Chain A
Amino acid sequence: MATDPRAERSGRGRALLAGAAHLIWPALALALLLAFNAAFTPGFFHVEIRDGRLYGTLVDILNHGSRLGIVALGMTLVIATSGVDLSVGAVMAIAGAVAATMVVRDAASFPAVLAGALATGLAAGLWNGWLVSRLRIQPIVATLVLMVAGRGIAQLVTDGLIITTNDPRLAFIAGGSLLGLPLPVTLAAAALALLALATRKSSLGLFLEAVGDNETASRYAGLDARGVVLLAYAVAGVCAALAGLIEVSYIRAADANNAGLFVELDAILAVVIGGTALTGGRFYLVGSLLGALFIQTLTKTMYMKDVSADVASIPKAIVVILVCLLQSPVVRGRIAARRRPP
């Protein structure tokens, strides 16, 4: 089969354009929310330099948004295979518990702590992937197991206590800064770069989308569909573990009960806002990061506008519904049809 290099190039160009077109919607939603804050929230855009690093609400959004974004990146791959990982919050708690216990009780070396936490995430991800790909349990049920049991495991690791640590190296993960920005921002950027390289510069991305679109067809085409699914869950587990490390570092304590609580919902929402469909197939890593930043900005807006926590979920829900409507091709088609002259 001879391929015309020009045709291939234009095909790739079109694919890139299509990806960029998808990013417009989450980017637009984020821009609108920021514009609202620019107009109505005094001090929202105020950034100054304190102790040699940037200090301000926008920096906080980047910092906390990165933690959620890292979870969302892993979730994106799982959702691309038409799966879902509900256990990410619990995996965050387990990985955090392992890290803090290794630091405090075992006085382990720092590389060992990092390796231990990430390996915990990998093991959790492989367990989920094994349940889904080999035992063919539905993803929502398979990952529910660890979502429920995971917190118990984390409690076992910490003995049910909040383990406080003042280890400066562990505190650096969330508290340190690079080029004036908090380290989690760098970690999220690195995770994005790594996953984008792995999925776009090799055929892995194509495999993920093929499995997500039609697993049976991809298997008949000679793809190791089970291996691809296993890999996606493993990556999600490692991403969750990294986020768990950041969380421990952030409060300098492992709080097995509250670390990453309900993060799975925010992560799924971030992926959906980012333009990836829950039915699998096409996925947008940058979109998921934008989605995470959008959710974090929304949360911060509620804090800054003094919206009471009792009712904060209502404006949040309304904004999320609007964003989802904005993304619906049906709604967009109707708006376009109305605008066009008959």
Chain B
Amino acid sequence: MNPIRILAIAAAVAGAALGAAGQDQPGGKKVRVGFAQIGAESDWRKANTESIKSEAAARGVDLKFSDAQQKQENQIKAIRAFVAQGVDVIAFSPVVETGWEPVLKECKRAGIPVILTDRAVDTQDPSLYVTFIGADFVEEGRRAANWVVKAVGSSANIAELQGTPGSAPAIDRKKGFEEVIKAHPGLKITKSQSGEFTRAKGKEVMESFLKSPEGKQINVLFAHNDDMALGAIQAIEEAGLKPGVDIKIVSIDAVRAAFEAMIAGKLNCTVECNPLLGPQLFDAVEAVMAKKELPRRIVTKESVFEQSGAAATIKDRKY
């Protein structure tokens, strides 16, 4: 028994070593992908994780998944671990935009291609990653602003709940939104503060907005994600106002809870940010393994949902 077992283990180890060394093995060997997820900070992220895991299982990819609990240092550690394990492709959603160059250079030196999903990194060196798959956050901001222009006209006092400071969606959604409302001098952002993408902070910050001297004039709320809007809705109700009526609310993501709020008439509009990136991610992985050229930017398909269609759409929402 024992010698055979040792032989088997030796063969397995050798096989693994070969698999790690050879990039273009023709079939048979499983592709090994390391994915460094941000965390599970929202229902959106949970759906994103599910999509990646289930797609990996469906395609027989050996997925090494790591949860960074919203901390950049954890993500960097995870990526270093993937490099040490010699995976074929590394993919990750960077929690913030900056500070990635050293670890991405380590990946490059190890010859491991990197795919960014959902969020971009701020780098001068385009060779550090192959492609960036994800939503166009600037466009999402524009869509939210377009809805405001359509729904409330050319005059409003807008409160903005920003995402985590320094994160790509917070920066870009703000940029896109401001780009559109600049053309309408009557639309003013009177209050803007970070709610860190969470319900609790969204509620706490909205409480402060409503109690500020400008608070009584606020008639539109733009939240960078649904969770903050859901927290803010509670703050608005506790201040004795009607969310969705006294203050019109538009947010981004289109998670199930947002549809429930729209059906209850408390949220007016949500701009979709599609988390189901799994299929597109592994299409890209396969293209990388086959040494095919990939576009630098792969944009996901997304739409805008309003109250009127919410009841009909909620049945099809997976997250």
Contacts and interface: CB of A to CB of B under 8 A. Distances in A.
Interface in A132-181: 151, 155, 160-162, 164, 175
A218 interface: no
Interface string B206-225: 01100111000000000000
A54 to B, nearest CB: 12
Contact of B70 (A160, A257, A300, A306): A257
Interface stretch (A18-26, A198-206, A248-256, A286-294): A248-256
B275 to A, nearest CB: 13
Given A57-B208, A251-B234, A303-B205, 14 more contacts: A51-B240, A56-B211, A155-B40, A161-B46, A250-B200, A251-B231, A253-B199, A255-B199, A257-B41, A257-B69, A261-B70, A306-B192, A306-B193, A309-B193
Interface stretch (A42-50, A76-84, A97-105): A42-50
B72 to A, nearest CB: 15
A258 B200 CA distance: 8
Nearest to B43: A162
A212 B52 CA distance: 50
Nearest to B206: A303
Given A151-B69, A259-B200, A310 B46 contact: no
B142 interface: no
Contact of B257 (A46, A151, A164, A310): A164
A64 interface: yes
B198 A255 contact: yes
Interface in A81-103: none
B208 A43 contact: no
A247 B41 contact: no
Interface in B182-197: 191-194, 196
A193 interface: no
A256 B196 CA distance: 15
Contacts of B192: 306, 308
A333 to B, nearest CB: 39
A69 B284 CA distance: 50
Contacts of B205: 303
Contact of A160 (B46, B166, B211, B239): B46
Contacts of A261: 70
A109 to B, nearest CB: 25
Contacts of B213: 42-43
A57 B230 CA distance: 21
Interface residues of B, number: 37
Nearest to B170: A309
Given A57-B211, A257-B40, A64 B204 contact: yes
A303 B193 contact: yes
A127 interface: no
Interface of A: 42-43, 46, 50-51, 55-57, 60, 64, 151, 155, 160-162, 164, 175, 247, 250-253, 255-259, 261, 300, 303-304, 306, 308-310
Contacts, number: 84
Contact of A162 (B166, B196, B199): B199
B199 A310 contact: no
Contacts of A51: 240
Q: Which of A60, A250, A257, A306 has the most CB of B within 10 A?
A: A257
Nearest to A248: B200
Contacts of B166: 310
B270 interface: no
B56 to A, nearest CB: 17
Nearest to B192: A306
B42 interface: yes
A300 B211 CA distance: 11
Contacts of B238: 175
- The 9 A-B residue pairs with the shortest CB-CB distance, nearest first, are A309-B194, A303-B208, A258-B198, A251-B199, A309-B165, A310-B165, A257-B41, A43-B213, A57-B211
A60 B208 CA distance: 8
Nearest to A253: B199
Given A42-B213, A50-B239, A300-B208, A258 B41 contact: yes
Scoring A42, A247, A251 by chain B CB atoms within 10 A of each residue's CB, the highest score goes to A251
Contacts of A164: 257
B266 interface: no
B257 A251 contact: no
Contacts of A46: 211
B211 A255 contact: no
A60 B207 CA distance: 8
